[in-house]
């Protein structure tokens, strides 16, 4: 599993995670309420390939994930 977390008020909050635990590789997009907003299937990849995709995705696009989460969070107020 590869997770992208932010820190708010001293607390780690997961905003996205690549997982393959009991299922095929997939990406879960997590909303401010902690619920999955979206799941993207990566079952065409082997687990090691999915992990490499996850690392590159988070390194290259972390700011987009944070920006989307912040917009969703602002929309809750």
Cβ-contact 45, 31 below 8 angstroms: no
The distance from CA 28 to its chain's CA centroid, rounded to whole angstroms, is: 5
The DSSP bridge partners found for residue 29 are: 16, 38
Q: Which two tokens stand for residue 19?
A: 């997982």
CA–CA distance, 64 with 49 (Å, rounded to integer) = 22
Total domains present in the chain: 1
Containing domain of residue 32, as a range?
A: 2-75
Tens digits of residue pLDDT in 26-67: 999 999 999 999 999 999 999 999 999 999 999 999 999 999
**pLDDT confidence tier of residue 77, bands split at 50, 70 and 90:** low
Which residues have a Cβ under 8 Å from the Cβ of 32 and sit 6 or more positions away? 13, 69, 72, 73, 76
């Amino acid at each position: 599993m590869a997770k992208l977390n932010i820190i708010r008020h001293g607390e780690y909050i997961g905003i996205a995670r690549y997982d393959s635990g009991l299922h095929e590789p997939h990406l879960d997009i997590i909303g401010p309420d902690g619920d999955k907003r979206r799941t993207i299937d990566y079952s065409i990849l082997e687990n090691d390939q999915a992990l490499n995709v996850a690392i590159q995705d988070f390194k290259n696009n972390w700011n987009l994930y944070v920006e989307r989460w912040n917009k969703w969070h602002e929309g809750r107020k």
